[in-house]
Amino acid sequence: MKTVMIVCAGGATSGLMGQYVVKSAKEQNLDAVLLFPEDVKFKDDFLKKNSTRDLVVFMGPVTAITSARFQDYEEQVDAVLVAPQVAYMFQEVEKVLSEIGIPCEKMDSLAFGRMEGQKILAQALALSDKF
C-alpha cells in the first residue's frame, strides 16, 4: 500500500485533485481510495481498513504539516504533494518532512490547474518510491 497526502490551503482543491487521482488509479486497475485526515490519523484502525489497497490518497490543509500536528500521520504517509497555491510554504513543509524521512514535492502546476489526475498520480507514485 502506498499512501499519499495532497495538501493545499484549506483542503478543498486538494480534495478535488484527490478525486481525480483516485479515478485515474482505478482506471489503471489499482484499488484506490480518497480519505480525510481523520480516517488516517489512527494508525491501527487505518491499517486494518486499508492494508490491502494499492493506493490511499488523503487531502488536507498545508497547516497540518507541522512537527507537532503531523506526528499523528507520519507512520501512515509515504509521500506528500504540495499544491501550487501554497508553494510559498514548500520549504517549511520540506523541512518538517525531511526530519522524519517523508519525501515531498510541489505538484506539477499545469497538471494541477487542469486537474489532470493521471499526471499527478504518476508524480505521486514516483515520489512514494523514493524512500
**Residue 113: domain span:** 2-129
Q: In CATH, what number is assigned to the domain containing residue 10?
A: 3.40.50.2300
> Whose CA is closest to 113, among 78, 79, 87?
87
Q: Which three cell numbers stand for residue 76?
A: 501512515
Matching residue, cell 504518476? 122
Q: Which three cell numbers stand for residue 88?
A: 510559498
What's the CA dihedral at 50, 129, 6, 55 to 10 degrees? -30
Residues 101-127 have pLDDT tens digits of 899 999 999 999 999 999 999 999 999
Predicted pLDDT of residue 60: 87
Residues of the chain with pLDDT below 50 are: none
Q: What SS3 state is found at 31?
A: coil
- Report the C-alpha gap between 112 and 131 in whole angstroms: 24
Predicted pLDDT of residue 100: 86
Residues 25-34 have pLDDT tens digits of 999 999 999 9
In the chain, the number of structural domains is 1
